[in-house]
């Protein structure tokens, strides 16, 4: 016998759990798109009864208090050329948003980016081209190392 369970009810381990989707206007406040709660039972009939209670508790706790202010979702829009598209601004934004990079690696990246900025000036990122990058590489090859003094 194949029994279909209602939407949001699912088997988790040996017991049942309920999954409730959070309305989009509350997602930014709560920080989640869904809430999962265990029902504390292995019996499907009991899970169906508890499901209604738990879903009502979750939805009422989400809606308690005042209605939230409309949240403007983050978009992946490109900044306009006038909004932080310089080498310094772009590097700072990239390093701040970079996840999974060790702090020591970020420090090394920052050092290289500062060196490039010192060489090229704080120009717009759109003005970087192959010729500028190759000239910077030649500059690095001719510059003595700070640590060893070798070229």
Give the tens place of pLDDT for each residue, 109-127. 888 888 888 898 888 888 8
Taking the model in full, what pTM does it have?
Answer: 0.42
Does any domain span residue 48? yes
Does any domain span residue 74? no
pLDDT at 68 over 80: no
Q: How many domains are there within the chain?
A: 2
Least confident interval from 8-22, 64-78, 136-150: 64-78
Does any domain span residue 101? yes
pLDDT of residue 28: 79
Does any domain span residue 77? no
* For residues 41-45, average pLDDT: 88
Does any domain span residue 71? no
Strand 34-38 and strand 15-21: pairing? antiparallel
Residue 17's domain comprises: 9-63
Does any domain span residue 114? yes
Cα separation of 96 and 27, whole Å? Answer: 23
Does any domain span residue 3? no
Does any domain span residue 73? no
Cα separation of 65 and 63, whole Å? Answer: 6
Neighbours of 5 (CB within 10 A): 13
93 and 51, same structural domain?
A: no
Q: Output the six-digit token pair for 136.
A: 């910077």
């Amino acid at each position: 016998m194949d029994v279909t369970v209602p939407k949001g009810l699912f088997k988790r381990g040996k017991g049942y759990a309920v999954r409730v989707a959070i309305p989009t206007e509350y997602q930014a406040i709560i920080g989640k798109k869904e809430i999962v709660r265990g029902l504390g039972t292995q019996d499907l009939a009991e899970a169906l009864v508890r499901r209604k209670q738990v879903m009502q508790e979750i939805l009422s706790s989400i809606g308690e208090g005042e209605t939230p202010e409309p949240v403007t979702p983050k978009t992946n829009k490109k900044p306009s050329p006038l909004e932080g598209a310089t080498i310094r601004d772009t590097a700072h934004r990239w390093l701040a948003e970079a996840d999974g990079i060790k702090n020591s690696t970020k420090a090394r990246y920052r050092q290289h980016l500062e060196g490039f900025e010192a060489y090229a000036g704080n120009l717009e990122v759109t003005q970087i081209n192959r010729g500028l990058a190759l000239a910077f590489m030649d500059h690095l090859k001719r510059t003595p190392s700070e640590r060893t003094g070798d070229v």
